[in-house]
Structure 1
Amino acid sequence: MTRPPFAPFTERDVEIVSAQLGRPARDVIGIPARCVCGAPTVVATRPRLTSGTPFPTLYYLTHPAATIAASQLEANGRMAQYAAELEADEALAGQYRAAHEAYLADRASILTVDEIEGYSAGGMPSRVKCLHALLGHALAAGPGVNPIGDRTLAECGWSPEVCACAPDQRGS
């Protein structure tokens, strides 16, 4: 499981993330998930940027094909379906709350930022707000931690085990 502390990242990783995002990557602290080719799929970002801005999204999905796949699920109404499942299934809701707590613990192990205390990502612990964030968490934390992120990965039609990277954005 690749959770804090993260394996070292390279300048090439930061270049690839910047190209994936279409802007310079900020305050990278690790690459907790990678494509089969080695390219970054999820970047870990400092909880407080060097500018002083709080940044609650520790695990940020960067891989273009993964973000497109998550966007397509969102456009097809899957967030509302997942939200309805959370309301109807107490066990699922409990797993989702546990994912929220795991996310908070990961971030707190790096830095506590009072302004974002208790806030994780993707609508956790009670809503489904952003499949990109939930997928990023699932990829970073590994299977079985975030049930909605795991479902997103299973249903989105994208896999980190099949390289869909642009030739100039492939890892080593």
Structure 2
Amino acid sequence: MTTPPFPAPTSAELAVVSAQLGRTARGVVGIAARCVCGNPTVVATTPRLPDGTPFPTFYYLTHPAATAAMSTLEATQIMPELAALLADDESVAAAYLAAHQAYLADRAQFGDVSEIDGISAGGMPTRVKCLHALAGHALAAGPGVNPIGDEALARSSWSPERCRCDDPGAATRDEPDA
């Protein structure tokens, strides 16, 4: 097993993530991306939650303003446009496949779960299914790794360059529980 690119979360970080989620965070192994103010934005989650449930979403977007922005994008029917980009541009498709493979390799550092073998998140490598998961991966991996996640972030009203941690109107969530 290789060393993950982030340290284990502190109890204070887990408290922030739990507040962001509105419930106790489960299976968090690290903070994979942060707001400019230092608060968690994306957590890395074990591939099997403490209750035994398989959980393919290794990079989980927790920042309320970021999740609200991805929900808004999904509501604007951008998914078919991003799916067309994936289908029509071979370089985007190749980068998306590489992002899928990198995602699986990152998650594998925390164990193999046969029920989710080969499944990453967000529809990778062939579909665009969940912008929350794709943006979470793009934020954790950095620009240029996940082209669809990068595109979703670029088109959203939220920016990782501007803190919105105290924005009470940005607490909308429509992702499965981490």
The TM-score, its normalising length taken from structure 2, stands at 0.89
Query: 1:5 offset after TM fit, Å?
Result: 3.8
Q: How does 1:1-172 map to 2 (within 5 A)?
A: 4-166=4-166
SS in 2 for 1:112: coil
Q: Tell me the equivalent position of 2:171.
A: none
Unaligned runs of 5+ in 2: 169-178
SS in 2 for 1:44: strand
Query: 1:160 offset after TM fit, Å?
Result: 1.6
CA distance in 2, matches of 1:130, 1:28: 20
The residue type paired with residue 166 of structure 2 is: A
SS in 1 for 2:165: coil
Q: How many aligned positions are there? A: 166
Query: 1:23 offset after TM fit, Å?
Result: 0.9
Query: 1:21 offset after TM fit, Å?
Result: 0.7
The residue type paired with residue 122 of structure 2 is: G
Unaligned runs of 5+ in 1: none
The residue type paired with residue 128 of structure 1 is: V
Deviations 1:32-65 (A, max 9, x none): 1000111000011111112111111000000000
Moved more, 60-69 or 44-53: 44-53
SS in 1 for 2:144: coil
The residue type paired with residue 62 of structure 1 is: T
Query: 1:167 offset after TM fit, Å?
Result: 8.0
The TM-score, its normalising length taken from structure 1, stands at 0.92
CA distance in 2, matches of 1:159, 1:26: 26
Identity %: 66
SS in 2 for 1:19: helix
CA distance in 2, matches of 1:35, 1:89: 31
Query: 1:82 offset after TM fit, Å?
Result: 0.3
CA distance in 2, matches of 1:104, 1:79: 23
Regions of 4+ moved over 3 Å: none
CA distance in 1, matches of 2:95, 2:129: 17
